[in-house]
Amino acid sequence: MKQDIQGCLQSYYSNFAAEMVKPQISNLDCISTGWESDIYSFVLEQGVANQPERKELILRIYSGKEAPHRSVREYHGMNQLHSADFPVPQVLLLERENSPFGKPFVIMEKIDGVLLGPLISRSGTRDNKQELIALFCDLLLRIHKLDWRPFVEDVSKYETDNPFEFIDSELNKKRALCERCPASGFLPVLEWLEHRRDLVPCSIPSLVHLDFHLTNVLVRSDGSPFVIDWGQMDVSDFRFDLAWTSLLLRMHSGMKLRDSVLQIYESLAGFQVEQIEFFEVLACFRRLFNSAVWFTMDPERGEMDSRSVEGLSVAEGFSGMGRHKDAIRKGYEMLVELTDIRVPGLERYAYLPA
């Protein structure tokens, strides 16, 4: 498989990089695979013998029906972030029309760094750990404070007099999912959210990452951080972003770190985040709904088609849920704690013996 990818990449550079002198691809290595994208590192060498140029780069190949939109959004978003001096890898190329993979791809610089999550886990002193957590929080707050207007094509779409524009749009999407898959058991969760909708107006839009977690931050040896994985970036209420981070921390790192991150974020921001629990319930819905669908519906009886409601295949879903069962259980416990609502099919799975 890696040889096929390397061969296709070599062919692409040979055919479409006319400005390069004898480009050669080597050392291709798979970093990760997933339903959204596959990520590889590789080395690009070009130039004549006495003036060689060598670059370590990242190839990201996008999958699924959202691939064309996601690739454009990430490429242009990261370009804009780089122009705004926000620490992201520099994107170098977006290809959609002439992709040898049959899918759009982006090439960007490779950051020689360590993931922030393991760095925090290995930190020797409490002060060092707190410094790294503060770095994490500061990056998230900087995203939310950026001028969001350069990141959208139509500013008027987001400058609205309706402070419930973002939340209404999100709740409408969730209702469509519940109507499509009523056996998921998530309708009571949606009704809990709809009942509290008037408590969460948003007066100021923010740029949001929407998958900001400890393994999406790389730290170089000199301490400089870089934020990666911008495929879901958008403009919305910043609390969507913070709550998703909060949920992932609770599921994968524990409540102590989650509480510390929220406290430091609020301290750096200079205000208390209102109604964060509402957005945490929304985050639970986003993370757990597919799991509930996978474990309460039988595609062979026609209860759902060969795809999940969000684009994942059923086979990928069961495999992924099996690998993350403990995290799903923690997310489910958070949902029950916040709403006192139980989702029977998901609960049966979450507490099945391993």
pLDDT recorded at residue 1: 66
pLDDT recorded at residue 297: 59
pLDDT recorded at residue 306: 37
pLDDT recorded at residue 2: 67
What is the chain's mean pLDDT, rounded?
A: 89
pLDDT recorded at residue 175: 97
Banded pLDDT at 307 (limits 50, 70, 90): very low
Banded pLDDT at 300 (limits 50, 70, 90): very low
Q: Between 316 and 323, whose confidence is greater? A: 323
pLDDT recorded at residue 49: 59
* Residue 50 tokens, joined: 């006495």
Q: Between 138 and 327, whose confidence is greater? A: 138
Q: Tens digits of per-residue pLDDT, 216-231?
A: 999 999 999 999 999 9
Q: Between 134 and 308, whose confidence is greater? A: 134
* Residue 282 tokens, joined: 């929304």
Q: Tens digits of per-residue pLDDT, 231-264?
A: 999 999 999 999 999 999 999 999 999 999 999 9
Q: Please provide the distance, in angstroms rounded to a whole number, between the alpha carbons at the two ends of the chain.
A: 32
pLDDT recorded at residue 163: 95
Domain ranges of the chain: 2-110, 115-350
pLDDT recorded at residue 298: 52
Secondary structure (H, E, C), the chain? CHHHHHHHHHHHHHHHCCCCCCCEEEEEEEEEECCCEEEEEEEEEECCCCCCEEEEEEEEEECCCCHHHHHHHHHHHHHHHHHCCCCCCCEEEEECCCCCCCCCEEEEECCCCEEHHHHHHHCCCHHHHHHHHHHHHHHHHHHHHCCCHHHCCCHHHCCCCCCCHHHHHHHHHHHHHHHHCHHHCCHHHHHHHHHCHHHCCCCCCEEECCCCCHHHEEECCCCCEEECCCCCCEEECHHHHHHHHHHHHHHHCCHHHHHHHHHHHHHHHCCCCCCHHHHHHHHHHHHHHHHHHHHHCCHHHCCCCCECCCCCEHHHHHHHHHHCHHHHHHHHHHHHHHHCCCCHHHHHHHCCCC
Cα 82 from Cα 91, distance rounded (Å): 9
Cα 242 from Cα 141, distance rounded (Å): 9
Banded pLDDT at 327 (limits 50, 70, 90): confident
pLDDT recorded at residue 316: 41
- The CATH classification of domain 115-350, taken from the options 3.40.50.300, 3.40.50.620, 3.40.630.10, 3.90.1200.10: 3.90.1200.10
As a CATH number, domain 2-110 is: 3.30.200.20
pLDDT higher than threshold 80 for residue 288: yes
Percent of the chain with pLDDT over 90: 73
Q: Tens digits of per-residue pLDDT, 19-60?
A: 888 899 999 999 998 878 999 999 999 886 567 889 999 999
pLDDT recorded at residue 315: 39
